[in-house]
A and B are shown apart, each in its own frame.
Chain A
Amino acid sequence: MLESDKGTLTTPPRMGGGLERWAERHLRILMLAPTVLILLALTIFPSLYMFYAAVHKISPNPDLPWQFVGPGNFARLLSDTQFHVALRNTAVFTIAAVTIEFLLGLGLALLLDRFIRRLTFLKTVLMIPMMLPPIAVAITWKIIYEPQFGVLNEIMFRLGLPLQAWAGDVNLAMFSIIVADVWQWTPFIFLLMLAGLASLPVEPYEAAVLDGASSWRQFWDLTLPFLKPVIAIALLLRVMDALRLFDLVFILTGGGPADRTKVLSLYIYQVAYRFADTGYAAAISLFVLFVTIVLSTWFMKRMRLAE
């Protein structure tokens, strides 16, 4: 680490006016300032608003005063069955989707890294899904899943398999959402894993080969530990995004059938904008924020990411 502030490097002689000298001296603050200020400006107000709203009952009528209810909105979380359903669905979705994306992404990256390393072109092609607008992705999958005219059922029909209602089937709806999400976001994990693999050091592998370690052992003892930080960040980012899944559910199922795909952000959206219950929506959001922060702090500690 460069510790110039402590004087390892002296201020060079070739300096301009007072402003530049001043800027140079406070560089560590100045370089950080824009980011911190922008984030402060745009998160402080929403956060305060959210905390304040969460302890009030807010009528959509702007002429009525906000009514202080203390922890009332949070108490509602305990008895609200729709919230519990949404919580469970979100957990199922997040765990399933991120696990599948991770396994597929890592597997594909390993294969490409080992067998066709040179074809950058191919790698970029495999990344196309994550570049599409999620709303267009959702609508495309809707056409694919369509039970009467969809391509998927046509393929099932050709293969002699029973036709399914996919997004319209109680038991397959969540699965259908997961498949669409996996399709769009596996490339993200794939890209990060490729990057991780490309920066692996060579020497340990040469040593392992000399020791006669099998490919499996090499993967388990060398590749995986080396990749750990990349894996950690990839999972963290994906989990954070999976927790706020919205577009796919909004377009494909609207939370149905039978509430099987109602996820938290859809529920927050309904409470905030359909039922116009801002206070309660803020309470649910705070809960989600709290869970996200606790989870990621724990995860980062475990993975020693903050260092």
Chain B
Amino acid sequence: MVRKFCLALAVAASALAIAGAAWADFTILVPSSAEGDGLRAAAADYSKMKGTKVEIVQAPYANVFEQAANAGATKSGVFDIILMDDPWIPFFAENGHLEDLTPYFKNAGMEGPDDDFLSKSLAICRNPYNTGPYVCLPYVGNAQMFFYDPIKFKEAGVETPKTWDDVLKASKALTEAGGGRYFGYVFRGGQGNPVVADFMPIFWSYGADLFNADRSKVTIDTPEGAAAMKTFMALRDVSPKGVESYNANEVGTALAAGTAASSINWPDWVATFEDPSQSRMVGKISHSPIPAGTKPGSSEIGHWTMGIMTASKNKQEAFDFMIWATSPEQIKISAERGNPPVRTSTFTDPELTKQEQFRHYPVLMEAIQASTPRPRHPKWPEIENAFGIELSKAVAGTITPEEALKNSQAAVEEITGLK
């Protein structure tokens, strides 16, 4: 009796516990979004061509970072390649999770990536920024763009918004006329990454930055910072109530549904605005690089880059795949699958740019070339969190903008140890 019962249990348990994954020749960690889908499709092509088995691990965007960090910190070696958001590069590189690519280039008889890649796209792949060795290769070329409704802006007396003052002028008029149902501007005010991401371009447009040039001092609470903050607060006043919890999705939806006239957003939305099943504003949304403040505008760069993990056991295979996937032909295929490219030849390929869906390429290329990376610091997530809390408080109005700058300055000094 006992035996029968235990046997039945054991059988049931083992029948349900189906065997583990058969690991492939190499494994890539990607987010489960357009970037990941693109690389997944490329990997499938590669497998077919070379007969290598490439396993793709897809994690929700919010969790790719900790999947990679877990694998790195425990040296588990489950991933050979990780597709990273560029602000993560310093963390992974400076904590020894990423392989230096220099010897691999040397072995392949190359000096490094060719100069068809955009210079800004290559700069973020080196650590330290633009000067250190390559630790990854760019795959998806994102940078923020400024989206607006030209008809509404014209009604409000602004032909093309060149500066933040133009944006403010038009938005103010539109919000006042909107009666609480239509707004001139909308932004990501959600605490943490969202609010920081939509403040940084304004911050830079007024000549401010988090650190001075040699990263020896925190420079948030400065006259430039105050000027940027003033514009940011003025923009908040013309934005809808509730932006305090907005992320890219809500901002994009507001434009697509025709309840807001302008915003900063990622190029991913270009296709959405033109899809009648997702947008009421087909053909009515224009885009431009980020408007200027007292200095030329600069957007935040948001590239997806591929790096090899140090615990990987298949580094050469991984490197070969990366070189193949970032070749001009493959980047073009990737662009056709909906991911913005990182190569000049693809951005200017007439075969693409003559198509409606790629009409934003000249503007995007300009935006990338005028972009700034988020401050390159291994503690960036912590800095972003602290800065994000203070900005969220300022947007919500629980502290004054001056206090927000002062507190952020103190918090970032504390985190970085720069006093």
Task: List residues of chain A with CB under 8 Å of any chain B CB.
Answer: 16, 19-20, 23-24, 59-63, 82, 146-149, 163-170, 173, 250, 252-259, 270, 273-276, 278
Contact = CB atoms under 8 A, between A and B. Distances in A.
A124 to B, nearest CB: 27
Contacts of A149: 253, 257, 259
A165 B97 CA distance: 42
Interface string B355-383: 00000000000000000000000010110
B192 A254 contact: yes
30 contacts: A19-B2, A60-B73, A60-B91, A60-B95, A62-B72, A146-B242, A147-B242, A148-B242, A149-B253, A163-B180, A163-B241, A164-B241, A165-B241, A166-B242, A168-B241, A169-B241, A173-B245, A252-B245, A253-B191, A255-B192, A257-B191, A257-B245, A257-B395, A258-B393, A273-B66, A274-B66, A275-B382, A275-B385, A276-B91, A276-B95
A148 B259 contact: yes
A254 B254 contact: no
A61 B74 CA distance: 9
B133 interface: no
Contacts of B257: 148-149
B72 A60 contact: yes
A256 B190 contact: yes
A59 B97 CA distance: 12
B148 interface: no
B221 interface: no
B180 A255 contact: no
A168 B195 CA distance: 13
A273 B69 contact: yes
Given A256-B192, A274-B382, A23 B69 contact: no
Contact of A256 (B1, B2, B259, B392): B392
B242 A165 contact: yes
Interface in B30-52: none
B3 interface: yes
B95 A259 contact: no
Contacts of A168: 189, 241-246
Contacts of B194: 254
B242 A169 contact: yes
A221 B95 CA distance: 64
Contacts of B294: none
Given A62-B74, A169-B244, A257-B244, 17 more contacts: A20-B1, A24-B2, A60-B97, A62-B96, A148-B242, A148-B257, A165-B242, A168-B246, A173-B244, A256-B244, A257-B189, A258-B191, A270-B385, A273-B65, A273-B69, A274-B65, A278-B73
Contacts of B226: none
Contacts, number: 127
B174 to A, nearest CB: 15
A149 B242 CA distance: 12
A256 B65 CA distance: 21
Interface residues of B, number: 48
B250 interface: yes
Contacts of B395: 257
A148 B240 contact: yes
Nearest to A170: B396
Nearest to A257: B244
B389 interface: yes
6 tightest Cβ-Cβ pairs between the two chains A and B: A256-B191, A165-B242, A147-B242, A168-B242, A168-B245, A257-B244
Contacts of B397: 170
Interface in B169-201: 180, 189-192, 194-195
A277 B150 CA distance: 47
Contacts of B72: 60, 62
Contacts of A252: 245
A28 B152 CA distance: 78
Nearest to A267: B385
Interface in B387-415: 388-389, 392-393, 395-399
A273 B244 CA distance: 24
Interface string B68-93: 01001111000000000000000100
A138 B392 CA distance: 21
Of the listed residues A59, A164, A250, A256, the one surrounded by the most CB atoms of chain B closer than 10 A to its CB is: A256
Contacts of B180: 163
B416 to A, nearest CB: 13
Contact of A147 (B2, B241, B388): B241
Given A23-B2, A258-B191, A259-B389, A148 B73 contact: no
Contacts of B242: 146-148, 165-169
Given A149-B257, A275-B385, A255 B379 contact: no
B95 A61 contact: yes
A255 B95 contact: no
Name, among A19, A148, A163, A270, the residue most crowded by chain B CB atoms within 10 Å (CB to CB): A148
A163 B241 CA distance: 9
Contacts of A173: 244-245
- Output the residue of A60, A165, A173, A255 with the most chain B CB within 10 A: A60
Q: Which of B66, B69, B388, B396 has the most CB of A within 10 A?
A: B396
Contacts of A24: 2
Contact of A258 (B2, B241, B398): B398
B190 A19 contact: no
Contacts of B96: 61-63
A62 B94 CA distance: 11
Given A19-B3, A170-B397, A276-B91, A253 B245 contact: yes
B70 to A, nearest CB: 8
